[in-house]
Every structure is written in structure tokens, then in C-alpha cells.
Amino acid sequence: MRHRMPHFIAGLVVALASLAPTPAPAQSAGAAPVPVQLAPLSEVLVDLEHRAPAEVLPLNDSLMAAEVNAVVRSVGADVGARVAAGELLVELDDRDYRLQLEAAEAALASAQARHAEAAAKLERARTLGASNYVSADELLTRETALAVGEAEIRSARAQVHIAQRNLDKCRVLAPFDGAVQERAAQVGAYVTVGSPLLRFVQSGQLELDAQVPEADAASLETASRLAFESRGQHWDVRLLRLSPVVDPGRRARRARFGFAGDVPEPGRSGELVWEVASGQLPASLLSRRGGALGVFLAREGRAEFVPVPGAEEGRPSPVDLPRDSQVVVQGQDRLQDGDPIASR
């Protein structure tokens, strides 16, 4: 009995040992690396793109109106006509104004004649005054008459200029190169001062007008690229003026841009596009893990998930990471933090 006890105890220990669970090996020890594609962070960062509605406008869009009362004699340019600066747009009946000019010129001639008479009488009075044949009062009267004559000449000359100006206003000329957009003047119609005649739009000198959101307006001055896009075409532009006034309804500021080369036709609408060199991480590289948006980096053969503070779905996000960080640009959808990876 004594000899059997040690054998019994040894068998019991072996049996108990066989019932104990065997420790499982670490999962990562034998896991196959996930194939991924890597790129330096400096190569994947993009500029932030902004867009705003924009329209091509002429520098001048003028409503030509009558400056005198007269009957329309002829219209020199109809709707759609291209006209050079100085060419005739509308001609008014000028006969009344020619008569007024003739009357003003006659009044000027009369004033000049009276002035010459006053000058001669003053000269004679001064000669006689030296011999005391003319009193001092008489001499003063002659001097006053001459001064009045000079004033009458200035007044008559001004009336001539006014009459000439009114006569010139009977011919409405193009103030710049452009095209007739609308026509209100009708031959034979009587127009008064302020009556619309033509709408005349300047050609050649065009600007791009854009309504820029207030929050993005300041970035225009540091934009790395400015362009106007419309119907699949684009034109490079440059910032000319940015209004300091904010439209309370749109919460936007108006900006005007000039075209660097070829220009589109007036009235064309599209979008102003500008990029800000701010180093944004593309939205396609952002992944969500554990309720946070972030990016996967390669660290010593494993994937490391780095949250990006403030990141939003579908939008580029700024990142505060070394520019030489190796970013997973393909294969990140299959990754979890700490997974082994293999660059392909």
C-alpha cells in the first residue's frame, strides 16, 4: 500500500495537468501583413479650394439720355451694333439751338462794340483831364462804363459757350468702344432732358464680379490660383478690388477681378475658383475609427491611427504632423490601429 501511494499521486497530477487550458499564442504574431501603399505627407497635402458665384460685367454699362429738349432726327446705331468711341449714336433736331447760338454770338459782338466805345471815351477823357477840361467825376464815370463793358463781354461770351454746348448735345456720340444693348429713341419722337435714348455697353474692358462669402474673402489676397470657370472653360483672373462692405442679406463681400488674357463675352455667369496654399489632408485619406476621424501612418512596419482634431466628413482638413510622415494612401479601409502592414 505504501509503494502504490506515490504512483497514485503522480497520476493524479498528470491528469489535472491535462485538464488545464493551453495558453493561446498572440494574434499578431502570426497575422499576415496588410498590403498598403504609402506616400510622404508632403506629397499628399492639397490646397484648399473655394468657390463663389461670379458674372462677367462690362466696366461701363451706360444709359444714354437726352440732355436737351428736341425731336429725334435719326438713330445712328441700332440694337447689337458695335460702335467705336466718338461715332454718332443719336442725332436730334438742332435748328432751334443753332438760332440760339447765332443770337448769343450777336449779343457778344454788340457787347464788344460798346466796350470799344467806352474804351475810346475813357482815353479821350484822360487826355482832356490832364488839361482840367474833364472833372474827376466824369473820368470816374468813363472808367465805370469801361468796366461794365468788360463784364458784358464776359457774360455774352459765356452765353455763346452755353449755346454751343446745347448745340453739341444734339449729337449723342459714343463715349467709348461698345455695343448698343437697348434702344428707346424713336425717329420723330420728342424727347426732353433725361429721356432715355440708348443703353450702351462698353466692349473690351470687362471685369469679373463675384459675391464672396465673408468668411472666405480675406483668403483672396493670398490665393495661389484665381480663375473663372463657366461651361467647361476657364480664364485666369487677378484681384482688382475687394469691397470692405458686407451685404447683410448674403453675408458676402463683392470682389472685382481683371482677366489676364482672353476674356469671355459680357453677361457670362459661372464660378470664381481660388486655392489657398494651406496644406490640407484630402478627405479621401480620412478614416473613422472608434468614433474619431483620423489618418493611418506607417510606424515600424505597423499601422498607427492618428486622430485629426476638427476633421469633418468629406472635407479636406489641416494636420499638424511632420511633413515626412509616411501616410497610408491605399488599403486603409482594412486597417486597424496596430495592424502589421507591407508596402507594395
The pLDDT score that the predictor gives to residue 205 is 86
Cβ within 8 Å of residue 12, ≥6 positions away: none
How confident is the model at residue 163, as a pLDDT? 97
Write the DSSP symbol of residue 340: B
Q: What is the pLDDT of residues 120-129, one digit of tens each?
A: 988 888 888 7
Query: Region 7-18: what's the mean pLDDT?
Result: 45
pLDDT at 83: 95
CATH classification of 28-45+282-343 is 3.30.930.10, yes or no? no
Read off the pLDDT of each residue in 37-57 and give the average, rounded to a whole number. Answer: 91
Q: Pick the closest to residue 298 from 269, 252, 330, 273 (CA basis).
A: 330
Where does the pLDDT of residue 15 fall: very low under 50, low under 70, confident under 90, or very high at 90 and above? very low
Contact by Cβ (8 Å): 217, 188? no
pLDDT at residue 326 above 70?
yes
DSSP letters spanning 11-54: HHHHHHHHHSPPPPPPHHHHPPPEEEEEEEHHHH-EEEEEEEEE
What local confidence, expressed as pLDDT, does residue 30 receive?
A: 57
The pLDDT assigned to 318 comes to 84
329, with CB counted inside 10 A (0-12, 13-18, 19+), is: middle
Give residue-wise pLDDT tens across range 198-220. Answer: 999 998 789 999 999 998 898 89
Tens of pLDDT, residue by residue over 268-315, are: 999 999 988 777 888 899 999 988 999 999 999 999 999 999 888 888
**Mean pLDDT (whole number) for 90-110:** 97
Q: What angle do CA 228, 233, 239 make, to 5 degrees?
A: 15
The predicted structure's pLDDT at residue 38? 94
344 or 207, which is more confident? 207
Domain 94-169 is found in CATH 1.10.287: yes
Work out the burial of residue 72: count CB atoms within 10 Å of its CB; fewer than 13 is exposed, 13-18 middle, 19 or more buried: buried
Distance of CA 219 to the CA centre of its chain: 13
Distances (CA, A) of 6 to 1, 14, 17, 20, 262: 10, 13, 17, 22, 105
Q: How far apart are the first and last CA of the chain?
A: 71
Candidates 3.40.50.970, 2.40.50.100, 3.40.640.10, 2.70.150.10; CATH matching 62-90+174-204? 2.40.50.100
pLDDT at 233 over 90: yes
- Residue 232 zone, left/alpha/beta (φ > 0; ψ -120 to 50; rest): left
What is the distance between the alpha carbons of residues 70 and 172, in angstroms, rounded to a whole number?
A: 12
The grid cell for 55 is 458674372
**Nearest one of 26, 170, 3 to 93, comparing CA atoms:** 170
CATH dotted code for 50-59+205-279: 2.40.30.170
What percent of the chain clears pLDDT 90, i.e. is strictly above it? Answer: 68
C-alpha closest to that of 174 among 57, 62, 58: 62
Intrachain domains 50-59+205-279 and 94-169 with the same fold? no
pLDDT at 27 over 70: no
166 has a pLDDT exceeding 50: yes
Domain residue spans of the chain:
28-45+282-343, 50-59+205-279, 62-90+174-204, 94-169
Distance separating alpha carbons of residues 272 and 55, to the nearest angstrom? 9
Range of weakest confidence among 25-29, 167-171, 193-197: 25-29
Contact present, 41 and 323 (Cβ < 8 Å): yes
pLDDT tens readout for residues 61-80: 999 999 999 999 999 999 99
- The per-residue pLDDT of the chain, averaged, comes to 88
Question: Which of residues 308 and 7 earns the better pLDDT score?
Answer: 308
Averaged pLDDT for residues 45-74:
93
> Which residues touch 249 (CB under 8 Å, ≥6 apart)?
none
